[in-house]
Amino acid sequence: MRLVKWYPRPVKAGRKRSEVSRRAILTAALEITRREGYRAVTMERIAAEAGVGKQTLYRWWSSRAEVVLEALGDLAESNIPVLERGSLRLRLSRFFVDSFRSLRHGGTAELLRGLMAEAQLDPAFRAELKSRFIDRRRAALRSLLESSKVAPGKRELLIDLGFGYLWYRLLLGYAPGKTDAESLASALAAAAGDT
């Protein structure tokens, strides 16, 4: 008698995400991270705090890093709009004022410092942080610069200068404020040729 290997039928895509559950999960991930640090976050803790089953998390995300980074990306996108009108200096000022203000709200600076520290120790997590958060924020600033007359070759340099300043100050332990944001915007606009 020949044994036939049995393979389970392919699983159909899971149910559509419930936006209420998604928001509860992302909020829980951020709250645990802010209270206790990134290392305290587990899929089990997120599920318990959000009031959902662990299988729900694994259906939508494969790791705690994915959950935290999606939450952080959504937070940044909702709190830091990109203006489409006005001078480049004005739009850069608004972008960085909002970015720096978000760092001072609800432990976000501590959260980002913790995630960046983790990224230095774990190359896989570093790639996740880059693709799920840093690249998204760079794209937002790039879209602002693309709508102006900034030469394409200068855009990436201006993005590096802007976020380099932000991360430098953040990693030294203090988030820059409104005056810093406005000074940075003026310097970047001048470097772009928009005075």
Number of folded domains that form the chain: 2
Q: What is the pLDDT of residues 112-159, one digit of tens each?
A: 888 888 889 889 889 989 988 899 899 999 988 987 778 888 899 999
In sequence order, the 6+-apart residues with CB closer than 8 A to the CB of 173 are 113
The CATH number for 131's domain is 1.10.357.10
Give how far Cα 164 sits from Cα of 16, 156, 161, 167, Å.
38, 12, 5, 5
Structural domain harbouring 41: 19-62
What is the value of pTM for the model shown? 0.75
Q: What is the pLDDT of residues 81-103, one digit of tens each?
A: 676 777 889 999 999 998 888 88
The mean-pLDDT minimum among 17-21, 24-28, 156-160 falls in 17-21
162 and 117 within one domain: yes
What is the percentage of the chain residues whose pLDDT exceeds 70? 86
The answer to whether 111 and 72 are in contact (CB under 8 A) is yes
Q: Answer yes or no: is 2 within a domain.
A: no
- The mean pLDDT value of the chain amounts to 83
112 and 86 within one domain: yes
DSSP letter assigned to residue 86: S
pLDDT, position 106: 64
89 and 54 within one domain: no
120 and 84 within one domain: yes
Cα 22 to Cα 18: distance, rounded to the nearest angstrom: 6
In sequence order, the 6+-apart residues with CB closer than 8 A to the CB of 116 are 129, 167, 171
